């Protein structure tokens, strides 16, 4: 059975807390019993092995147990939250889901038969061999949402190696590769997952204090929100040992400011993609943007300054798009990188690079310069089409209001002119009360360029 090693760990830790939800703790013994409850529910609803099951939920005791029951029954698991920018109808159509299970905020469940007949050829390998699968949808915030299909046993493989035990918040979502990775990592080491229903700085930091959380996996955008809000002043965060961050490049100014305020908290940059999984990583230091990535089952290379990955846990393919792999099995990440020996520095997505009259502009480079100004709280650099030079550089900023908007714009342009190349200087600067971000707590450059 694919989760035999996990069941063994759960039994060994049966008297330990596995899940904290809405202030209540659930032991590993409860989790084992709840998996059996779901086994019966699946049987009662004729959800047989190899069935494709769409699950609309967030992390909770029942959604966690359901995931393991579906793996145990060799089903194909399609997690969905409201972070996906397409309709449920479209998700069902793409995934060809045969059943939908909804688990609401009260942990109440509803099972619905959808009567689809799966025809996608990618499912054949999993279904014929009764291998459990995982379908992950990209958010769709930068275009068409893609559905990647995984053999979930290859994702589980790396969790057979025992590592550190932590109490960790499931900040990254139930339908996100980072959220799935957090769940498997914590429970495979007999740790405790602490769920949050409200992902605001105040709520997350309050949860850290109340439940003595040691590990917070999150995004650079959320780390900056913690700093801007200054909510950290209202809570005791002495239990917090590590913050891991990924999903988007980190601004140097954010990293330095956080390290100055919390020198005792280790910051670890992570790297992963829905298509290949989460790689093991090691930051050069807590205040460095350079990191080593790879580990068991992963190989990396750089071609034309772009990172490529070959992984045992790589997806079988997209359900609704052509294969992104090279003929010899390398996945082109789309991330431009610098290298220094074994270390990588992520410059940004190739799709976000701004071409100004044939010159490349990396948004993160411009953002790092603007954030050096003491009146800046946050910045988002993006492109707008220009008929003469192709694109122009634009910036949206939020400030601490120590300057009026006009003076702020003048100072930003003057500072950029001194430190950036001419084609990198933003031609258009908009002052906003606060910057918007995606439901997965990332900057949303595509939304900015349409304004």
The torsion region of residue 247 among left (phi > 0), alpha (psi -120 to 50) and beta comes to left
Q: What DSSP assignment string belongs to 353-389?
A: -EEETTEEE-HHHHHHHHTTSTTEEEEEEEEEEETTT
∠427-431-434 over CA atoms, to 5°? 135
pLDDT at 11 over 80: yes
Residue of 151, 193, 137 whose CA lies nearest to 170 = 193
Dihedral, CA of residue 192, residue 198, residue 201 and residue 205, to nearest 10: -30
Determine phi and psi for 380, rounding to 5 degrees. Answer: -135, 120
Tell me what the mean pLDDT of segment 326-341 comes to.
Answer: 91
Lowest-confidence segment of 53-67, 78-92, 187-201, 368-382 by average pLDDT? 78-92
pLDDT (tens digit per residue) in 288-308? 899 999 888 899 999 999 999
pLDDT at 448 over 60: no
Distance (Å, whole) CA 196 – CA 20: 9
Greater confidence (331 vs 352) lies with 331
pLDDT at 356 over 90: yes
Tell me what the mean pLDDT of segment 357-370 comes to.
Answer: 91
- Any idea how long the chain is? 451
3-class secondary-structure state, position 432: coil
pLDDT of residue 449: 46
pLDDT of residue 45: 97
pLDDT at 451 over 60: no
Q: pLDDT category, 286, cuts 50, 70, 90?
A: confident
pLDDT (tens digit per residue) in 119-146? 999 999 898 888 999 999 987 655 688 9
Q: Taking a C-beta distance cutoff of 8 angstroms, is the pair 373, 364 a contact?
A: no
Q: Which residues contact 315 (CB under 8 A, 6 or more apart)?
A: 148, 149, 150, 274, 275, 276
pLDDT of residue 295: 81
Distance (Å, whole) CA 299 – CA 342: 12
3-class secondary-structure state, position 272: strand
Greater confidence (13 vs 85) lies with 13
Q: What DSSP assignment string belongs to 126-159?
A: HHHTT--EEEEE---TTSS--EEEEEHHHHHGGG
Q: pLDDT category, 74, cuts 50, 70, 90?
A: very high
pLDDT of residue 141: 58
pLDDT (tens digit per residue) in 212-271? 999 999 999 999 999 999 999 999 999 999 999 987 888 888 999 999 999 999 999 999
pLDDT of residue 82: 81
pLDDT (tens digit per residue) in 378-427? 999 999 998 888 899 999 999 998 889 999 999 999 999 999 999 999 99
Residue of 58, 132, 145 whose CA lies nearest to 102 = 58
Distance (Å, whole) CA 400 – CA 227: 12
Enter the pTM of the model. Answer: 0.90
- Across the chain, mean pLDDT equals 91
Q: Which residues pair with 337 in a beta bridge?
A: 346
Distance (Å, whole) CA 130 – CA 321: 24
Q: Which residues contact 151 (CB under 8 A, 6 or more apart)?
A: 125, 126, 131, 132, 133, 316
């Amino acid at each position: 059975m694919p989760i035999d090693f996990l069941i063994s760990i759960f039994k060994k830790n049966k008297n330990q807390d596995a899940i904290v939800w809405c202030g209540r703790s659930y032991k590993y013994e409860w989790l084992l019993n709840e998996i059996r409850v779901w086994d019966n529910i699946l049987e009662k609803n004729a959800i047989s092995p190899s069935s494709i099951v769409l699950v609309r939920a967030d992390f909770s005791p029942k959604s966690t147990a359901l995931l393991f029951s579906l793996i145990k029954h060799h089903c194909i698991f399609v997690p969905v939250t409201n972070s996906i920018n397409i309709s449920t109808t479209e998700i069902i159509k793409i995934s060809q889901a045969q059943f939908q299970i909804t688990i609401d905020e009260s942990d109440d469940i509803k099972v619905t038969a959808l009567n689809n007949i799966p025809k996608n050829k990618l499912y054949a390998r999993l279904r014929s061999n009764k291998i459990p699968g995982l379908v992950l949808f990209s958010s769709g915030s930068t275009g068409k949402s893609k559905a990647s299909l995984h053999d979930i046993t290859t994702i589980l493989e790396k969790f057979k190696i025992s590592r550190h035990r932590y109490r960790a918040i499931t900040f990254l979502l139930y339908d996100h590769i980072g959220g799935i990775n957090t769940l498997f990592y914590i429970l495979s080491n007999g740790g405790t997952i602490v769920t949050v229903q409200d992902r605001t700085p105040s709520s997350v930091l309050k949860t850290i204090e109340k439940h003595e959380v040691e590990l917070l996996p999150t995004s650079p955008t959320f780390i900056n929100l913690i700093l801007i809000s200054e909510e950290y002043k209202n809570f005791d965060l002495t239990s917090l040992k590590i913050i891991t961050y990924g999903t988007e490049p980190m601004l140097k100014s954010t990293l330095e400011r956080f390290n100055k305020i919390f020198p005792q908290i280790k910051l670890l940059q992570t790297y992963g993609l829905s298509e290949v999984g989460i790689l093991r990583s090691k930051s050069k230091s807590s205040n460095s943007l350079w990191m080593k990535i790879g580990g068991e089952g992963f190989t990396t290379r750089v071609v034309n300054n772009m990172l490529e990955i070959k992984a045992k846990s790589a997806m079988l393919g997209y359900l609704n798009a052509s294969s992104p792999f090279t003929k010899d099995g390398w996945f082109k990440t789309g991330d431009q990188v610098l290298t220094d020996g074994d270390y990588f520095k992520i410059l940004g997505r190739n799709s976000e690079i701004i071409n100004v009259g044939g010159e490349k502009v990396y948004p993160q480079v411009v953002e790092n310069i603007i954030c050096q100004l003491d009146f800046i709280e946050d910045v988002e650099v993006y492109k707008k089409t220009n008929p003469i030079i192709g694109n122009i550089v634009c910036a949206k900023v939020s400030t601490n209001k120590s300057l009026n908007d006009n003076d702020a714009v003048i100072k930003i342009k003057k500072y950029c002119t001194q430190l950036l190349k001419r084609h990198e200087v933003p031609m258009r600067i908009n002052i906003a009360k606060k910057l918007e971000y995606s439901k997965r707590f990332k900057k949303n450059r595509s939304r900015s360029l349409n304004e």
